[in-house]
Structure 1
Amino acid sequence: MGKGYYISKHLATAAMVLAAIALVTIIALSVVYNREKSKNAAKFSKATTLPVFPTPKTSNEPWDKYRLPDTLSPQYYNVTLWPRLVKNANGMYIFTGISGVMFTCEKKTDLILIHSNKLNLTVFKGHHAKLTGLSGVTAPAIKTTWFQSETQYLVIQLEGKLKPGKDYWLYTEFTGELADDLEGFYRSEYMENGEKKIIAITQMQATYARKAFPCFDEPGMKAVFHITLIHDRGTTALSNSQEIKNVIIDGMAITRTIFGPTKRMSTYLIAFVVSDFTYIDVRIWARKKAIEDRQGDYALNITQPILEFFEKYYNTSYPLSKSDQIALPDFNSGAMENWGLVAYRETALLYDPRTSANGNKQRIVTVVSHELAHMWFGNLVTVKWWNDLWLNEGFASYVEYLGADYAEPTWNMKDQTILYDLQSAFAVDSLTSSHPLSRKEEEVNTPSEISEMFNTISYSKGAAVLKMLSEFLTESVFAKGLSNYLKQFAFGSSVHSDLWEYLQKAVDQTPGIKLPYSVHEIMNRWILQMGFPVVTIDTRTGNVSQKHFLLEPEAVVDRKSEFNYEWFVPIKWMKKGQVQDQLWLLQKSAIHKPMKVSKNEWVLANLHVSGYFRVNYDLGNWERLLSQLESNHQVIPVVNRAQILDDAFNLARASIINITLALRTTKYLLHEREYIPWEAALRNLNYFFQLFDRSEVYGAMQAYLKKQVKPLFEYFGTISSNWTTIFMSHIIALSLACSTGVEGCRELTRSWFKKWMQNPPNNAIHPNLRSTVYCNAIAAGGAEEWNFGWQMFQKATVAAEAVKLRSALACTKVPWLLNRYLEYTMNPEKIRKQDATSTIGYIASNIIGQPLAWDFVRANWDYFFKLYGTGSFIFSGLIRDVTYRFCTPFELSQLKRFQKDNAETGFGSGTQALQQAIEKTTAKIKWLEGNKEPVLQWFLSESA
């Protein structure tokens, strides 16, 4: 039985103290509230943040460091919060709170550092906290307290020393703003039945728990939490644990909801919600209207099978007594794995079959599976520090497809990992500005640096590398090692080497599993150095070699690697359709005689795309693979067809193979009907669209793609009933056919949209076609079509429908409409704060909107940085989106000027994204110099 199931004796002592405190909680909170009301109104009425205490500046002191010292260990919290869902006299939404934490002194110290950010702490006899010794221990008196703003600490200096092995109780009272900043304890607003509703919700990851109550806010500092929420009658309070008591306060229109003690857990997983939401069992919570419309039914139907799958997969029972999932109108992340109270954007949990597309359903099953996977991996066992974040997120990103496949076995979900993880990771990890999966702890300190870790590398590369590990260990050995790892570290924290140790034990206990090196030695090369190899196979000699793959081959890699950018590479492969024995590439190059083949045979490496590497061949083998694709492409597995396309285009971008060879991989698409290869092709061709849609290459490229997609368009037009049969690839067919001008496509979408405008209730467009139809019709129309789309967006009661319309509105070709739309992103009444950056990204993807979006972001940089830059996960996407099309020396000079002009403000969690934008633009400029003309000539010859 894992550590943390029961409260120990010293926690029980604290519990008795808390019982006494609970009796006066309401009175104390009321006093705090009234005290704050009587303070200078100017403090709150005009300020955007609450006032802070003076911050003495002293270099190299403990309070100047972002990591907590190892002197104190939290054991138990008691937190009572009272959110006010109406404005106070100064026009602000606030919450009041009381918090106590029992901690053990590990090393003698006269200093307490506890995280606190943007909280007004009550002053007791000149100090901002009360300290009490437990079990007969006398606590030293507090000498002085202050707030250290940069490192976000409440600093408490003591007159004497705390004693090692002894327990103490730290008590604070505070007031905070219930802001709409999507961080910590915040408010969300929405309209329902013409009435404005306010709810209080949380997002603590990664460093926002300190905005809700003072706490030791590091993932490795786990503790037990007792949460109490005071709230208006008629509202419901939720938290991580099941409520154990609900008390209506006599004489006051409020209720006190007391929740049972949590398991031992990290602060970033704490959650609470006060709302008038309702639910359906298991429990899926959402707005009343959404539940009435049965939008939670699909999530309800898949939750139990996914939980059952993970219980079997981990060989460990679900760790908690309850499982709540809640859909929120305003939420920064896509979802958050709060233990026992998982929070989602509405698009990630709610599904309405009348308006939601098949793609929306697929998103829900993968996101739900991802978050429920965290209930064990990430929550039960947590990383000690954020430098190992990939262990949490990479793992959940890998197994989400296993859980989704179990819930929806006919969807072939496992194959989609190559699109949404492996190929996405390749795009970032081929830059010199990438970083290792597991960074050094000293590289990840500030909240901005922590937020930067929530990126494609941690999620997608982490998933791809763990999938590779599972493949060469076998899934059963991998799962066995995981199960033992979870049992050993339950309710605690770990580092990546702990996982390697338990996977190695599983290998050692399994006959027939032979590895060339230990799991540690193999995997450390994949996680402790950035990048990945391109494996080159010469089928004339059997020589197999590896080299660090970079999009800019001559770029200088500043980050040193103890492994010299060499990997231990597991290679699964086939020879002319026959699967061969796996081999390992353990050095720069080696001769593998089985890979030497005759002229009528071909070799395909990285079978089923099980490994995290690209593959190149000698020219003869490339030619034979192309011939096989054109004669009978189905001999090659579907995911490997996508791999060939993606590898070829990126090898050409890196000047390893000729660009015309890469373009030739698309010729067989005339015969392709599967979604994954088409999606892989379009991602790479979209890169070409971005490069060439302002040059003479664009016309010839359009003509070629029109010829290639026409058979697919006609095929699905023939076999589907009015284009409503659900095939992912027929959405591609419709979208690409319209964008390239296939006869009848644009007319079809415009006619559907026109009929919808004439009679919205009766002429609704099929959900699977809406994204394409909305975009094409708005692009072809003017203000009338745009304004109608905007009206439908404002009326949308299903979040997935609102997203389709919000994206489509960016498709217009009318500049003044795009500029007006950009201005809307700074008005939360029109575009929610959670959606502002993605809306700008949609506009930037429009060739006409891109320069407008770039100018807009530069002109309002201070605003966006203040709102999103210091800790938001989505901020890096804003920089990426508005610079994605950059490929000229002038645009590069603009980027560098932007970097220089805003150096003082900074780039926060977008710092790395800006570096990557400069690197990508530099590489494109150089590539275009030698490849633009050959590309033009090839498209001209093939489109004739």
Structure 2
Amino acid sequence: SRALALALALVSVGALASIIALSVLYAKEKTKDLEPSPTSPAAATTTADSSFPSPSSSPGPPVPWQQYRLPDTLAPVHYAITLWPRLEPDGRGLFIFTGNSTVRFVCLKDTDLILIHSNRLNFTLLQGHEAQLMALGATAPAIKTTWLELTTDYLVVQLEGRLEAGRSYLLHTEFVGELADDLAGFYRSKYKENGVEKILATTQMQPTDARKAFPCFDEPAMKAVFDLTMIHPLETVALSNSINYDPINVTIEGRNLTMTRFHSTEMMSTYLLAFVVMRFFHNQIRIWARKQAILEGQGDYALEKTGPILSYFQNYYNQTYPLTKSDQIALPDFSAGAMENWGLITYRESALLYNPAFSSIEDKEYVATVISHELAHMWFGNLVTMRWWNDLWLNEGFATYVSYLGADSAEPTWKLNDLMVVFEIHGVMQEDDVPTSHPLSCEEGEVQKPQQIRHLFDTITYSKGAAVLRMLSDSITEEVFTQGLRTYLEEHKYNSTICTDLWKHLQVAVDEASPGLGLPTSVEDIMNRWVLQMGYPVVTVDTRTGRLSQKHFLIDPEAEMDRPSPFNYEWIVPISWMKTGVKQSPLWLTTKEATNSNMTIGGADWLLVNLRTSGFYRVNYDQENWERLLAQLDTNHQEIPEINRAQLISDAFNLARSKLVNFTLALRTTKYLVRETEYTPWLTVSNNLNYYFLMFDRSPLYGPMQAYMVKQVEPLFNHFKDITANWTKIPDKYNQVVAIQLACKNGLKACEDLTYNLFNAWMKNPSNNPISPNLRSTVYCNGLAAGGQREWDFAWSMYKNASVASEAEKLLWAMACSKQPWILTRYLEYCLDSERIRKQDASYVINSIAANVVGQPLVWDFVRANWNYLFNDYGNGSISFESLLYSVTRRFASEFEYKEVKLNNPRFPDFHQALERTRVNIKWVSSHKDQILSWFTEEAKPKPQP
């Protein structure tokens, strides 16, 4: 970040009710000379002792300030923090905040060293005010020297004497920071209201950015109580985790300001701290947003559903809501979807606001599940927190799982428990079947650096975590699962835990419910297999002999494993199953293979394993049983439950890619779709065929594929055309969107005409959009793909004037559908200008353009040409570079493209995954393209009428 040429003098803080005086002296020029050197402690502060050894010159093992984890010598108890954010720039265009913090901590072991996290906070011109140490009931040792250790984000305080174990101390610091637009720590966001640009100050501390707002012990287990005071302009409101006292007016340096002081928080982790200074409005349950959004009722749906979801979780956890208030705020600029700050949940606007005139059923479902996810954290994650980030999966996987339960309680007609399978489980299985995956949990020592922590916020952590917890709940019953969960929360509230603490409580609940559950071993033993080793098994069932077997499923069976497994890639697998539509008693597969005579069948009977896809594994069968299942789909597909129809499709396609079944078997699972009208099977087909389209949309095979898909999807398109009276009445059904997406993507003339006419009708009358919110994404995309500059510039003008975030996101995505390379290149250049494309949206736009076959090579060139700028200016707060690299290389399937990735690997994070994915693609395409071309060509032919 830019260096701050700033000086700070903070007048002493009196009692809590006193007025705080702050004065700020600005240096005339910015200069990098003011940044502390990572190798020279003497340059870091005005009181530094240059004779103290610097990290670069220290011989032997790493000294404490070179290690990323805090030593076990100090434990924080309480912070008193005062912050004053400036919502207007100074003469050099800098936005700053000034502040002071006093942390009370207990010494656990004698030490002469204080390490406290600090990142991008400037102490260099404070003339001796960078740190002051006091002891409670004793004399504190003098400070020998202080410096900033940039690599590990520490303010290092070396003492003349030693702190004594058992004593409490106060460390006071005064600092200045930049209120940057990097979407991390304490940052600024901007928006326009009635054409006037406005600035707000807000936070995103997770995982390691509280240290950018104030010096702190920034680890999740280092819980403390926080007392916060905010100084802010008169016309603004300040919010934080707890209720505020009545604000008072103060005058500082001749400026009339407001001082808002907040009640003490509960014991909590630094990453959950939040504060916002803004000019927003709220409704009665404190859904905060831009004034226009609240007046338009965009917060009404969140208002309507928050209460029922909170009530559901209070009953689910058997714990009343832990706090005295709950604020939820929609922010114009926010890097994540939402953040579970305790008592002050922050959201992207599209994750909290809903307008039925603009927002689709998907938008509504997203709002409901995100709210449910964040409210679930108020107990699981906030009241009880993981000790260290290696168990992040337990926080996020659990919240993902129960978010569907909470949202389902508020919207029971949506079948959200089934949607979880296609939204979470199918997708993450395709992330976890490669040798570059990772276990859900690992040793604490494997996750030290902030970058390593940020890498854990991925699909494995969220979606696989949800899948294995759902599997456990199903295996021991939801009643037993919730009983164990409740005692776990009660025992550990306001503390930190590791995942084995939960297993112990679940085991007690299981033991009390026995012998009816019939677990083959302990809960911990079962879950260790799923948590401590990556991947998942494929269970093979031979219905001729009743033999069951398991092995590690890899999409490339010849891939070499980099990471050894503590369990030799063997799982304890819950087997739920049915025989010709009749549910059978569940069983467990505890070894590599076993035999169960009940699973032998003959005649027209068929056997189906993994009911409701409750287990996190794939299923393969002998060829005879596959044929019987395909015959059942052809004759009466509804005899197989909807979610299992989707499972059969997903398993068959992925087993074929792994060479465990013939690829024609996978393709045959799509033939019955001419009679299918339900959403989950069609979405599963679309997702799995997407790999075929990615591999072949630049080859001659693309035409026959399109012709076959038009033949299959046309009955579904006509079905929705009929039930909607030629699209004039739009039901709230997901599958009509899939019907139009697939029909238009594959060139069905009726679909192209529909979308073209709707888009042009809107262009003729921009103030009266005739397109149903459910269909807008698809219609916008196809209208822009068929058009040129006129259509694109119209969409851009609509985007710039959009007041509803979900509508703006639809347009952002659709503008990437253009087939004009120069338009897409211009759009990419807009991503480098935050005045045109918000930093939070840049990655979304770039990835959307990369999904376009015309745009993908343009993005590849753009990313390489602008990598340094993107990495340095956008950083981890704005762009997920792993996601960016995945999007731009996922089509790669040639030796030339493999060499291109390899050539650029020093610049890219996780390039090994891109190389491995490209290598697998090359092998698959070369092995299958001729046969696939033959199959699609034959199946696309019109069949003779009987």
What range describes the TM-score normalised by the shorter chain of this pair?
over 0.9
Partner of 2:533: 529
Point out where structure 2 has 5 or more consecutive residues left out of the alignment: 1-10, 46-53, 942-946
Partner of 2:326: 323
- Give the aligned residue type for 1:168: Y
Where does 1:821-900 land on structure 2 (aligned, <5 Å)? 821-870=827-876, 874-900=880-906
Q: Would you say 1:20 and 2:14 are equivalent positions?
A: yes
Question: Of 382, 390, 395, which residue of structure 2 is paired with 1:392?
Answer: 395
Q: Deviations over 1:790-823 (max 9, x none)?
A: 1101010100000000000000000000000000
Question: Of 34, 44, 53, which residue of structure 1 is paired with 2:44?
Answer: 53
Structure 1 residues 319 and 721, CA gap change in structure 2 (3 angstroms): farther
Question: Of 266, 270, 273, which residue of structure 1 is paired with 2:269?
Answer: 266
Aligned-partner SS, 2:245: strand
Partner of 2:236: 235
Contact 1:124–1:130 under 8 Å retained in 2: no
Displacement of 1:160 in angstroms is 0.6
Distance 1:839 1:293 in 2: 27
Q: Would you say 1:496 and 2:490 are equivalent positions?
A: no
Partner of 1:373: 376
Q: Would you say 1:171 and 2:169 are equivalent positions?
A: no
- Give the aligned residue type for 2:823: L
Distance 1:456 1:772 in 2: 26
Partner of 1:4: none
Structure 1 residues 423 and 128, CA gap change in structure 2 (3 angstroms): same
Partner of 1:691: 695
Distance 1:329 1:475 in 2: 38
Distance 1:65 1:672 in 2: 58
Displacement of 1:416 in angstroms is 1.0
Contact 2:132–2:172 under 8 Å retained in 1: yes
- Give the aligned residue type for 1:924: N
| Bigger mean CA deviation after superposition, 46-55 or 490-499 | 46-55
Partner of 1:769: 775
Distance 1:649 1:177 in 2: 51
Partner of 2:187: 186
Contact 1:44–1:90 under 8 Å retained in 2: no
Question: Of 567, 570, 575, which residue of structure 2 is paired with 1:566?
Answer: 570
Partner of 1:421: 424
Aligned-partner SS, 1:681: helix
Partner of 2:8: none
* TM-score (normalised: structure 1): 0.95
- Give the aligned residue type for 2:926: E
* TM-score (normalised: structure 2): 0.94
Aligned-partner SS, 2:796: helix
Partner of 2:5: none
Q: Deviations over 1:402-444 (max 9, x none)?
A: 0000000011011011112111110111010000000121211
Q: Deviations over 1:655-697 (max 9, x none)?
A: 1111001000000111110111100110001111101101111
Displacement of 1:720 in angstroms is 1.0
Structure 1 residues 193 and 764, CA gap change in structure 2 (3 angstroms): farther
Displacement of 1:128 in angstroms is 2.0
Distance 2:873 2:316 in 1: 41
Distance 1:316 1:916 in 2: 43
- Give the aligned residue type for 1:768: N
Partner of 1:10: none
Distance 2:877 2:853 in 1: 30
Aligned-partner SS, 2:767: coil
Partner of 1:13: none
Distance 1:382 1:589 in 2: 38
Partner of 1:42: 30
Distance 1:501 1:607 in 2: 27
Displacement of 1:125 in angstroms is 6.1
Where does 1:525-924 land on structure 2 (aligned, <5 Å)? 525-723=529-727, 724-870=730-876, 874-900=880-906, 902=907, 907=908, 911-912=909-910, 914-924=911-921
Q: Deviations over 1:466-522 (max 9, x none)?
A: 000000010010000000000111011000100100000111111422210000110
Partner of 1:336: 339
Displacement of 1:22 in angstroms is 4.3
Identical aligned pairs, as a percentage?
A: 56
Partner of 2:95: 93
Distance 1:755 1:193 in 2: 28
Q: Deviations over 1:521-548 (max 9, x none)?
A: 1000100000000000011111000000
Contact 1:327–1:346 under 8 Å retained in 2: yes
Distance 2:687 2:221 in 1: 39
Displacement of 1:370 in angstroms is 0.4
Contact 1:571–1:585 under 8 Å retained in 2: yes
Aligned-partner SS, 1:244: coil
- Give the aligned residue type for 1:618: D
Contact 2:241–2:341 under 8 Å retained in 1: yes
Structure 1 residues 446 and 91, CA gap change in structure 2 (3 angstroms): same
Question: Of 401, 406, 410, which residue of structure 1 is paired with 2:409?
Answer: 406
Q: Deviations over 1:348-378 (max 9, x none)?
A: 0000111111110010000000000000001
Aligned-partner SS, 1:491: coil
Partner of 1:938: 935
Distance 1:662 1:324 in 2: 49
Distance 1:45 1:347 in 2: 42
Partner of 1:70: 72
Distance 1:217 1:801 in 2: 37
- Give the aligned residue type for 1:88: D
Distance 1:259 1:698 in 2: 62
Aligned-partner SS, 1:429: coil
Partner of 1:162: 163
Structure 1 residues 847 and 837, CA gap change in structure 2 (3 angstroms): same
Partner of 1:454: 457
Partner of 1:121: 123
- Give the aligned residue type for 2:357: R
Contact 2:839–2:874 under 8 Å retained in 1: no
Displacement of 1:879 in angstroms is 1.1
Distance 2:649 2:424 in 1: 16
Question: Of 299, 302, 305, which residue of structure 1 is paired with 2:305?
Answer: 302
Aligned-partner SS, 1:796: coil
Distance 1:869 1:560 in 2: 33
Contact 2:183–2:877 under 8 Å retained in 1: no
Question: Of 346, 355, 363, which residue of structure 1 is paired with 2:358?
Answer: 355
Aligned-partner SS, 1:598: coil
Contact 1:367–1:400 under 8 Å retained in 2: yes
Contact 1:110–1:162 under 8 Å retained in 2: yes
Where does 1:247-258 land on structure 2 (aligned, <5 Å)? 247-250=248-251, 252-258=255-261
Structure 1 residues 730 and 47, CA gap change in structure 2 (3 angstroms): farther
Displacement of 1:725 in angstroms is 1.9
Distance 1:293 1:362 in 2: 20
Partner of 1:105: 107
Structure 1 residues 48 and 142, CA gap change in structure 2 (3 angstroms): closer
Displacement of 1:873 in angstroms is 7.0
Structure 1 residues 536 and 227, CA gap change in structure 2 (3 angstroms): same
Displacement of 1:596 in angstroms is 0.9
- Give the aligned residue type for 1:931: H
- Give the aligned residue type for 2:65: W
Contact 2:544–2:601 under 8 Å retained in 1: yes
Displacement of 1:56 in angstroms is 4.2
Aligned-partner SS, 2:545: coil
Aligned-partner SS, 2:749: coil
Size of the aligned set, in residue pairs, is 912
Contact 1:278–1:286 under 8 Å retained in 2: yes
Q: Deviations over 1:523-581 (max 9, x none)?
A: 00100000000000011111000000001101111211120000000010001101001
- Give the aligned residue type for 2:222: M
Aligned-partner SS, 1:146: strand
